[in-house]
Amino acid sequence: IPFFSGRRGPAIREGMSKAKIGLGCVTFGREIDRDDSFVLLDAAMERGISMLDTAAAYGEGASEKIIGEWIASRNPDKSTFKVATKILPPFDATSIESRVRESQDHLGVSSIDLLYFHSWDSSAAELDVLVSLDRLVRDGTIQQLGVSNVKMETLRQVREMQEQHSLAPFSVVQNNFNYAVRDLDEDERQQCSELGIRVVTYSPLGAGFLTGKHRDGVEKGSRFDVIPGHQDVYFHEQAWERLDRLEEVAQAHEYSQAHLALAWVFHQPNIDCVLIGGRKIEHLIQAVSARDEEGEALREL
* Average pLDDT of span 57-64: 97
β partners of residue 24: 53
What pLDDT score was predicted for residue 6? 55
The backbone region for 274, taken as left when phi is positive above 0, alpha when psi lies in -120 to 50, beta otherwise, is: beta
How far is Cα 266 from Cα 264, in angstroms, rounded to an integer? 6
What pLDDT score was predicted for residue 151? 96
What pLDDT score was predicted for residue 225? 78
- Return all residues near 39 (Cβ < 8 A) that are at least 6 apart: 281
pLDDT at 83 over 60: yes
This prediction's pTM: 0.93
- Residues 22, 51 contacting (CB under 8 angstroms): yes
Alpha-carbon distances, residue 20 vs 41, 46, 76, 202, 204 (angstroms): 16, 15, 18, 12, 13
How far is Cα 155 from Cα 169, in angstroms, rounded to an integer? 10
**In degrees rounded to 5, what are phi and psi of residue 210?**
-75, -5
Of residues 261 and 230, more confidence is placed in: 261
pLDDT at 7 over 60: no
What pLDDT score was predicted for residue 209? 94
What pLDDT score was predicted for residue 11? 44
